[in-house]
Amino acid sequence: MDFKKLISHCKEYGFIFQSSEIYDGLAAVYDYGPLGTELKNNIKQYWWKSMTQMHQNIVGIDAAIFMHPKTWKASGHVDAFNDPLIDNKDSKKRYRADQLIEAYAEKIEAKIKKDVDKAAKRFGDSFDEQQFRTTNQRIIDRQVKIDYAINTMNDFLAKEDMVGLKNLIEELEIACPESGSRNWTDVRQFNLMFSTQLGNIAGEESKLYLRPETAQGIFVNFLNVQKSSRQKIPFGIAQIGKAFRNEIVARQFIFRMREFEQMEMQFFVRPGEELKYYDYWKSTRMDWHKSLGTPSDHLRFHDHENLAHYANAAVDIEYQYPFGFRELEGIHSRTDFDLSKHEELSKKKLQYFDPELNENYVPYVVETSIGADRMFLAQISEALQEETVPDAKGNDSTRVVMKFNPAIAPVKAAVLPLLKNHEGLVNAATDLFDTMKTRFQCQYDEKDAIGRRYRRQDAIGTPYSITVDHQTLEDNTVTIRERDSLNQERIHKEEVPDMVGAATNINKLL
């Protein structure tokens, strides 16, 4: 589905609104509407249960957003959590230098794709894309340009060479998308943390940061949790919570936000065993995504080219968003970097006594870190479809439908009396609604013709619509319509709650 249509669908049906819209919005900040909140809660619940309920050795916490300022010194965020920024002197617009270079590469890639699509049309079934890409001289030349731009950029980023980045932008003749000019400032580093002041004390000492990741709340509580929950290594701590980053270029809807939510899990292991658990979490997390029905070809691993100095392995799970493959989740083997740094700055021991080895050590950590909002966007992108279906008279008609996995659908069932002015039908429908509302989210809807009500439920992804009609009053049966197949079946009304409950239960995914 076209990305603009997806965004307007999210607004029209109450999934996502721009923050402070009446004041023309606040860039890269979004509010979740009634259905968006339900969907996001279901995603978070599925993650939480998969991590904590399904693993005896993973427990959850909910740490505060504010932390002691030294936390961020220890974690490296004060000194190194920067983006390389560049301003265009004519438009006065600010950009991330790396994103300007990536956009340059994407433009060339779009040209390649155009050529590939044209050739595919021309050659039909006999077309071999791989062969075409490796033998067509124009495509080869373009690929060389892309590789040069990206590889050189990665080198400069790794060396934190800001002069090199500026020179590369000039060499590639990249112009400001707004003014079209190449009148650039130097590239400089810009810290992404938001800060505020504690109480009435002025100065650096009282500078507080809004956490840019939830992970540090887990690291500083490592021993508290281990001792209070009597966990033995290997064990994990999971957390869901808000994180804040002063993203400079905020694009692509809820993909890159300034206030967002992370679902993170830090898994503490014996030094030397981290890569075994890294592999375990890599495949476990990929399976988790697929268990929701996301097709394999919409997901892929992407190994980090430049490992952070504290990591000895790192991979992203990327999802094919409407704007291309992008990072959805990160799995990082972070060695003992964070705990050791916290030991150093706090001067408190953060070590574990391993009874089997009879020794103390600082555990190594494998983390899985996923943005709840990016997961939400992936699920919306996957679910939202426009398709042709037969209408009541058997003619073709288009419907907009959200094919969520029923376990995460915001509304599980809709109860629809055939007529709204018929007391018997309304009472029977209300009774059925009342027997279900304590078990899962349902909607009661009596407005408009039944066909339009079905379409409304399709558009918000409700897996089951239950119609109460005149026959219900005679034999207590109702029609239950399934969203994807459009199958309609008559069943006894007393069977409905158990049937819908079983088919939409989140535990089915576990």
> Which chain residues interact with ligand GAP by CB under 6 A?
213, 215, 245, 247, 256-257, 260, 262, 264, 327-330, 367, 369-371, 373-374
Instruction: Decide whether 262 or 320 has the Cβ nearer to ligand GAP.
Output: 262
Instruction: Decide whether 71 or 369 has the Cβ nearer to ligand GAP.
Output: 369
| Token digits of residue 34 | 């009634």
Instruction: Decide whether 245 or 455 has the Cβ nearer to ligand GAP.
Output: 245
Among residues 431, 403, 414, 423, the alpha carbon closest in space to that of 467 is found at: 414
Given the DSSP bridges, would you call strands 58-61 and 235-244 parallel, antiparallel or unpaired?
A: parallel
Q: How far apart are CA 93 and CA 86, in angstroms?
A: 9
First CA to last CA across the chain, in angstroms?
29
Query: Biggest alpha carbon distance in the chain?
Result: 81
Nearest to ligand GAP by Cβ — which residue?
371
Q: How far apart are CA 441 and CA 437, in angstroms?
A: 6
CB of 461 to ligand GAP, least distance (A): 22
CB of 354 to ligand GAP, least distance (A): 25
Instruction: Decide whether 222 or 433 has the Cβ nearer to ligand GAP.
Output: 222
The alpha-carbon radius of gyration of the chain (Å, integer) is 27
| Token digits of residue 305 | 């080219």
Q: How far apart are CA 106 and CA 476, in angstroms?
A: 59
CB of 452 to ligand GAP, least distance (A): 36
Among residues 493, 480, 488, 487, the alpha carbon closest in space to that of 412 is found at: 480
Strand order in the sheet with 58-61: 58-61, 235-244, 259-269, 364-371, 324-333, 313-321, 299-303
CB of 49 to ligand GAP, least distance (A): 19
Instruction: Decide whether 245 or 412 has the Cβ nearer to ligand GAP.
Output: 245
Instruction: Decide whether 142 or 334 has the Cβ nearer to ligand GAP.
Output: 334
Q: What is the H or E stretch that residue 477 is in?
A: strand 477-482
CA quadruple 299, 303, 305, 308: dihedral, nearest 10: 110
CB of 344 to ligand GAP, least distance (A): 20
Instruction: Decide whether 42 or 369 has the Cβ nearer to ligand GAP.
Output: 369
Sequence-separated (6 or more) residues with CB below 8 Å from residue 205: 69
Instruction: Decide whether 38 or 83 has the Cβ nearer to ligand GAP.
Output: 83
Sequence-separated (6 or more) residues with CB below 8 Å from residue 347: none
CB of 433 to ligand GAP, least distance (A): 37
**Are the C-beta atoms of 333 and 313 separated by less than 8 Å?**
yes
Sequence-separated (6 or more) residues with CB below 8 Å from residue 77: 191, 193, 209, 212
CB of 402 to ligand GAP, least distance (A): 21
CB of 63 to ligand GAP, least distance (A): 13
Instruction: Decide whether 262 or 457 has the Cβ nearer to ligand GAP.
Output: 262
CB of 150 to ligand GAP, least distance (A): 19
